[in-house]
Copies of this chain bind each other. A is one copy, B any other.
């Protein structure tokens, strides 16, 4: 068993806001992240896949395929988008990095299984200081 990782990037706007709360509650919990006009980040997404090495290729899975899957199903839907408004799989959900990591896992898990490999980790880097990892 060996692990391969692919990093992809996307730039998105978002806002942390719970519609069931008052504005004062949102401001208290989310502070400047609740700005109603949005702010944004350059996100880095690192996807880890595990599997056996195919002796014919030396690969767990061709990184060209992994890159294509991530771009087609995830980053093309997030890059230069607003996470609260533009992204179908985030609709009605809190636009936190934690929730986004779980949703990305849910999208990628079966796509990667199609390649005889197993999704192991979805890592999101929101800034150079804040990161999230989800292992299913």
Contacts and interface: CB of A to CB of B under 8 A. Distances in A.
Interface string A1-12: 111111111011
Interface residues of A, number: 65
Contacts of A55: 94
Contacts of A58: 16, 93-96, 98-99
Nearest to A131: B5
A41 interface: yes
Contacts of A79: 32, 39
A128 B39 contact: no
A30 B58 CA distance: 11
A35 interface: yes
